[in-house]
Amino acid sequence: MLKFDHRAALISVHPYLFTQCRLTEEEKSGIDQAALEASRLIPSEGVKTRFVMELVRLSAVRNEKVLIFSQYLGPLDLIQDHLKGFFGWAEGKKILKMEGKMGQKDRQNLINAFNDPKSEAKVLLASTKCCSEGINLVGASRVVLLDVVWNPSVERQAICRAYRLGQKKIVYTYHLMTSGTTEGDKYCRQAEKERLSELVFTSSSNEQCKHTNADTCIDDGIVEDMVADVNLKGMFEKIIYQPKEKNLVETFSIAS
């Protein structure tokens, strides 16, 4: 099950990442390795990488910073290469990356640089697991979750890195799911787990995100621009504003 989840998560971001999976000799013989290698630096070959690149471009125009999370390092490394190639941005300047192996001092310097409105930083790539409670990333007003994890509290903590005291902008979160995969079903199960947890532990956490009223739909100019672009709107099957009170099974048309 974990092996399948890992493969599905990587491939849904970009097909090249299939080469990072552990494959049997039979599986290796059934793929076009050369074609996958050739696609590596082409963001448009992956629906999620395509979305991320356009989101980053439009956010930079609006002087907004983007925080991108994944539970795996492969997608973050690939997106970093895409950003370098597409925008000509340098790692450590406009592109920052936070991994679990970083020392405390280096991590804090990175956080300070990202949150500084005068810094060059445009994007922070971060491992979902390394952004634990206490980390403040209010420099970001756009948060991207590249994959779906089974533990909803992990994703909630990740989102709350940007949605903290000191944040002066509206924070938009994009949870990307690829059509035709198990991600929609996995998200429904995760959300149901979260709902049950809230029923039992309503006041258990001392670090909760502030939530917009469920009846309030916030306009997102960036998504509107993407949908209006004839070259981009085809990558969206559904765009859902999802209050947590909503029935996710009905929303995704997935049988329980």
Per-residue pLDDT tens digits for 125-167: 999 888 766 799 999 999 999 998 877 788 888 889 998 888 9
Distance separating alpha carbons of residues 8 and 41, to the nearest angstrom: 20
Query: Could you report the per-residue pLDDT of 154-165, keeping only the tens digit for each?
Result: 888 888 999 888
CATH of region 43-252, choose from 3.50.50.60, 3.40.50.300, 1.25.40.10, 3.30.360.10: 3.40.50.300
Ordered by start, the domain boundaries in the chain are: 43-252
Asked whether the beta carbons of 65 and 123 are under 8 A apart, the reply is: yes
Higher pLDDT, 185 or 249: 185
pTM, whole model, 2 decimals? 0.84
Strand stretches in 52-92, DSSP E? 65-70
